[in-house]
Structure 1
Amino acid sequence: MEAIEPAYGATTLLLIAAGAVALLLFLIIRVKLHAFVALVLVSLLTALAAGIPVADVPEALSYGFSSTLGSVALLVGFGVMIGRLLEITGGAQVLADTLIGRFGEKRAPLAIGVAALLFGFPIFFDAGLVVFLPIIITVARRFGGSLILYAFPTAGAFAAMHALVPPHPGPVAAAEVMGGNIGLALLVGVPVAVLSWFVGSFLVSQFIGRRVWVDVPTALFGEMNGGRDDDNGKGRGADNGGQGRDADNGGAAGAAGSGGGTATATRTAPAFGTVMGILLLPFVLISFNTVLDTLMAAGVLEEDATWARYLMLLGNTSVALLITVIVATLVLGLRNHSMADVSGIFDKALAPICVIILITGAGGMFGGVLRLSGIGDALSDSLSDLGMSLILQAFLISTILRVAQGSATVALTTTSGLIAASVADAGLSDFQISLLVIAIAAGATVLSHVNDSGFWLVSRFFEMDVKTTLKTWTVMETTLGLSAFVLALAMWTVA
């Protein structure tokens, strides 16, 4: 569905958007209305207030909802299935033990954050986060403390790589629109992403995590994990910090845990190499899609190359995760369980994600209504000539578009299109254009809030209420984006 001609000016639309956000927060935080109901209700009222024709309102509501579900539902479903198998077979515990053994217990948050940076190179934010959930939960349960200490370095790593580093679509699209070099954007983006993650995500999350307590979530993987015995409920299987190893064989994980009642106790934990192979499989497959798509965009490969299209199909995120589910079932699930047991495990893993998917879809509906109302076009017209340096202009335009309508992708593509003519007139180098890409991506990262479907994904995955998510996730996303912008601005002054 195409954006509707704005019924009002930018100022009026901004006031409508601000009022909609305020109403949504009031209904959820003060009235305690269920987030799904509140999001749908406010989306409907916003569509009417913004001047969307009454006949088009149902389509406007379904536009954002269906597009978000189309990208999220399969990823969350397959990701939770993989995560549940990793947890119930002891794979998550094996990986956590190995990472902690290499980095040390005090650096557990850093360990999983660094792992997420590596895995986040080709994998989208939501797909990477859902696959890493059992690892986050396993480490958090083992060492204690607020979940934020472990979850946010990981989530921030995926967010940084997704926003700042090609071959992710946002920075690739921005570089292409402004005539930049994608390879150089990659070389500049990687160190900026790592540094901004360390300062704006890792350090900030450790600061927040020591001041805001968030319990380890139980809905997706149950209250018991690793060394818990589902048959007798007797705490951890080992006395050495809860690593979940069976004293008889040194390698068995705990039983199925809560939600895994159809499965019997796992007898043999998988090897570290097996677990890494499962996690690397979607990494490799998705690389086919992202890397080949980038090569085609750069003209290195023909767009109609059949072999490349087949590899890109395998690298489609949903297809890659489907293949990984099948491989994980064969390699992990059938080691000590029947296929019927594995199906039961999947049933119990999928049941809790209904609320996550619906609320995330409704968040996409709210953002979609704001986009269709024409607020992006109205803001673009009023912001196109701000009379300031290009890099600051790029950051501010992207930030305002991000805050107003929620979508980071829309903020990226719209901003790069708005300043493309100025970039061409200025005769900038490829390095300077790469810095502009970072500035735009930084603006599209900050201030994630209730009109962003990613905000709801994090809120539901980590079982945080809206108020807590605003003062933790929104803050961390903002410091992450600001860190990236400061780095880009510093290099811009000497470029």
Structure 2
Amino acid sequence: MEAIDPAYGTTTLLLIAAAAVAVLLFLIIKVNMHAFVALVLVSVLTALAAGIPVADVPSAISFGFSNTLGSVALLVGFGVMIGRLLEITGGAQVLADTLIGRFGEKRAPFALGVAALLFGFPIFFDAGLVVFLPIIMTVARRFGGSLLLFALPAAGAFAAMHAMVPPHPGPVAAAEAFGANIGVTLLLGAPIAVLSWYIGAYLVSQAIGRKIHVDVPASLFGEMNGGRDETTNGDGTGAGVSATGDTMTRTAPAFGTVLGILLLPFVLISFNTVLDTLMTAGVIEDGVTWAEYLKLLGNTSVALLITVVVATLVLGLRGGRSMADVGTIFDKALGPICAIILITGAGGMFGGVLRLSGIGNALSGSLSGLGMSLIVQAFIISTILRVAQGSATVALTTTAGLISAAAIEADLSNVKLTLLVIAIAAGATVLSHVNDSGFWLVSRFFNMDVKTTLKTWTVMETTLGLTAFLIALGLWMVF
């Protein structure tokens, strides 16, 4: 569904968007209305207020909801299955112990962030986060303190890689719009993303975590038998309770097995992202059969499905469990995430209504002639579009298209074109709030209310984006 012709001017549309966000926050924070109900209600009212024809309102609200659910529901569903198996079999504990053994207890949050940076290279933010959750929770439970000390460094790492580093779609699309070299964008974007993460996400998250306490959930994806799922002793073995209630002794999987399960989607998704990049560069022709099959295996949902099947065989059926036992584990894991999926979809609905109302197009027309440095203009436009409609990818691609003519006319070097991509990605990262589906994913997975999420996740995303922009601006002045 395409954006409608704006019924009002830019100022009016911005006021409508600001009022919608304010009403939504009031309903959720002050009235304590359920977030799913509040998001749907405000989406309908916003569509009417923005001048979307009444007959088109149902299509408008389902547009963002279905698009978001199409990408999120399968990822979250398969992800929690993998996560639950890692949690219940002691695999997450094995990986956590190994990470801590390598980095030391005091650097456990840093270790989680570094691991997330590596896994986040080919994997999208939401898929990476949901697969990584059991490791985050296991480490947090072991050391105590606020969950944010351990969760935000990893979440920030996935966010940084997703926004700034090819082969993720946002930076690739922006680089294509400018005619920038993808290789240069990768070689320059990766170190900027890592440095931005360390300053704007890791250091900031540690300060936030020391001030704001968020309890670690007793169980990640549902409980079984009163929470007595699988207890693992220090030697990796322990007495567990099966899904059917039978007591049996099980041994935790080996570190190599756990790492292999986590690396499997990483490798499969790499097929898709690397091949897309090679096709874009003309190295491989579109439509080549073998490449299309590898891309299918690398589709995020298919990759996670394959990983679920492998994890079921390698982890789930160990120690005397039957396939029925594994099915019961999955049922109990999927139940608690229904609200997460619906709320995330409703967040996408709200953002979709704001996009369809024409706010982005209206802003594009009014901001294109700003009299300032191109890199500053890119950051400001991307930030405004991000705040107005929520989607980082839309903000990235729209801003790139808006200033691409000026960038090409300026005849910039590949380095400066890459810095423009980073500046746009930085603007598309800051100020994640209630019209961003990722905001709701983080809020619900980390068991935070809206107010706490604004004070933690939104702040960290903003410092992450600002840090990336300042680094890009500094390099722009040098080159």
* TM-score of the pair, normalised by structure 1: 0.94
CA shift for structure 1 position 218: 4.2
1:80 equivalent in alignment to 2:80: yes
User: Secondary structure of the equivalent of 1:351?
Assistant: helix
Query: Is the contact made by 2:20 and 2:42 (CA closer than 8 Å) also made in structure 1?
Result: yes
- What is the CA–CA distance in structure 1 between the aligned matches of 2:394 and 2:141, rounded to whole Å? 37
What percentage of aligned pairs have identical amino acids? 80
Change (3 A) 1:153 1:299: same
Give the 3-state SS of the residue equivalent to 2:463 in structure 1. Answer: helix
Is residue 366 of structure 1 aligned with residue 350 of structure 2? yes
Provide closer, same or farther for how the CA distance between residues 229 and 42 of structure 1 changes in structure 2, counting only shifts above 3 A.
closer
Asked if structure 2 preserves the Cα contact closer than 8 Å seen for 1:88 and 1:256, the reply is no
Gapped runs of 5+ residues in structure 2? none
Alignment length (residue pairs): 477
SS in 2 for 1:68: helix
Closer/same/farther in 2, CA of residues 185 and 265 from structure 1, 3 Å limit:
farther
Q: Tell me what 1:251 maps to.
A: 236
Match for residue 288 of structure 2? Answer: 305
* Structure 1 unaligned blocks of 5 or more: 232-236, 238-243
SS at match of 1:14: helix
The alpha-carbon distance between structure 1 residues 185 and 137, as it changes in their structure 2 partners (threshold 3 A), is same
d(CA) in 2 for partners of 1:474 and 1:466? Answer: 10
Which piece of structure 1 moves more, 44-53 or 216-225?
216-225
What CA RMSD, in Å, does the superposition of the two structures yield over aligned residues? 1.5
1:13 aligns with 13
Equivalent position of 2:412 in the other structure = 428
CA distance in 2, matches of 1:439, 1:158: 18
1:37 to 1:423, Cα distance in 2 relative to 1, 3 A: same
Amino acid at match of 1:348: K
Letter in 1 for 2:82: I
Report the Cα offset of residue 304 of structure 1. 1.2
Structure 2 residue 261 is the aligned partner of structure 1 residue 273: no
Aligned counterparts of 2:374 and 2:295: Cα–Cα separation in 1? 36
- Code of the aligned partner of 1:461: F
What TM-score comes out, normalization by structure 2 length? 0.97
**Could you tell me which residue of structure 1 aligns to residue 378 of structure 2?**
394
Alignment of 1:248-397 (within 5 A): 250-252=235-237, 255=240, 264-265=247-248, 267-336=250-319, 337-397=321-381
> What does the per-residue CA deviation read over 1:408-439, in whole Å, with 9 as the maximum and x for residues that have no partner?
01000000000000001100011100000000
Q: What residue identity is the alignment partner of 1:252? A: T
Residues 10 and 359 in structure 2, CA contact (< 8 A), matched pair in contact too? yes
SS at match of 2:317: helix
Task: Specify the alignment match of 2:201 in structure 1.
Answer: 201
Aligned equivalents of 2:208, 2:463: Cα separation in 1: 12
C-alpha distance in 1 between matches for 2:248 and 2:262: 23
Report the counterpart of residue 430 of structure 2 in structure 1.
Answer: 446
Structural mapping, 1:164-175, within 5 Å: 164-175=164-175
Q: CA deviation at 1:255?
A: 3.0
> Contact 2:164 / 2:425 at 8 angstroms: preserved in 1?
yes
Q: Is the 8 A contact 2:88 2:229 kept in 1?
A: no
Within 2, Cα distance between the matches of 1:272 and 1:449? 37
Distance of aligned partners of 1:376 and 1:345 in 2 relative to their CA distance in 1, 3 Å threshold: same
Cα 1:19–1:262 change in 2 (3 A) is farther
- Is residue 282–residue 324 contact of structure 1 (8 Å, CA) maintained in 2? yes
- Cα separation, 2, equivalents of 1:410 and 1:224: 41
Task: Spell out, residue by residue over 1:353-406, the C-alpha distance to the aligned partner (whole angstroms, 9 max, x if none).
Answer: 000000000000000000000000000000011010000000000000000000
Post-superposition CA distance 1:236-276 (Å, at most 9, x none): x6xxxxxx326xxx22256369xx56575551110000000
Separation in 1, partners of 2:295, 2:414? 28
The one-letter amino acid of 1:89's match is: T
Opposite residue 412 of structure 1, the aligned amino acid is L
SS of the residue 1:352 aligns to: helix
Q: Deviations over 1:418-474 (max 9, x none)?
A: 000000110001110000000000000000000000000000101100000000000
Distance in structure 2 (CA, Å) of the matches to 1:462 and 1:175: 33
What does residue 489 of structure 1 align with? 473
Q: What is the CA deviation profile of residues 83-117 of structure 1, one whole-angstrom value per residue up to 9, with x for unaligned ones?
A: 00001111000000000000000001001110000
Instruction: Please give the per-residue CA displacement for 1:8-28, whole angstroms capped at 9, x wherever unaligned.
Output: 111100000000000000000
Query: Does the aligned pair in 2 maintain the 1:263–1:345 contact within 8 Å?
Result: no
Partner-residue secondary structure (3-state), 1:33 = coil
Q: Is residue 223–residue 229 contact of structure 2 (8 Å, CA) maintained in 1?
A: no
Q: For residues 190 and 146 of structure 2, what CA distance do their matches in structure 1 show?
A: 29
Amino acid in the other structure paired with 1:458 = V
Q: What do the CA deviations read for 1:272-299 (whole angstroms, capped 9, x no partner)?
A: 0000000000000000000000110111
Superposed counterparts of 1:224-235, under 5 Å: 229-230=228-229
Tell me, in whole angstroms, the C-alpha distance in 2 between the residues paired with 1:203 and 1:16: 36
User: Which residue pairs with 1:476 in the alignment?
Assistant: 460
What SS class does the counterpart of residue 255 from structure 1 fall into? strand
1:364–1:451 Cα contact (<8 Å) kept: yes
Could you tell me how far 1:219 is from its partner in structure 2? 6.1
In structure 2, the CA distance between the partners of 1:263 and 1:105, relative to structure 1 (3 Å rule), is farther
Please identify runs of 4+ aligned residues in structure 1 that moved more than 4 A: 222-225, 228-231, 260-266
Q: Secondary structure at the match of 1:267?
A: strand
1:157/1:254 CA distance change after superposition, 3 Å: farther
| Cα distance in 2, alignment partners of residues 199 and 263 from structure 1 | 49
Q: Could you tell me how far apart the structure 2 residues matched to 1:138 and 1:222 are?
A: 15
Q: 1:190 Cα deviation (Å)?
A: 0.6
Q: For residue 488 of structure 1, report the CA deviation from its aligned partner.
A: 0.3
Q: Residues of 2 paired with 1:476 and 1:414: CA distance? A: 24
Match of 2:33 in 1: 33
- Given that 1:289 and 1:316 are in contact with CA atoms closer than 8 Å, whether structure 2 keeps it comes out as yes
Distance (whole Å) between structure 1 residues aligned to residue 143 and residue 118 of structure 2: 23
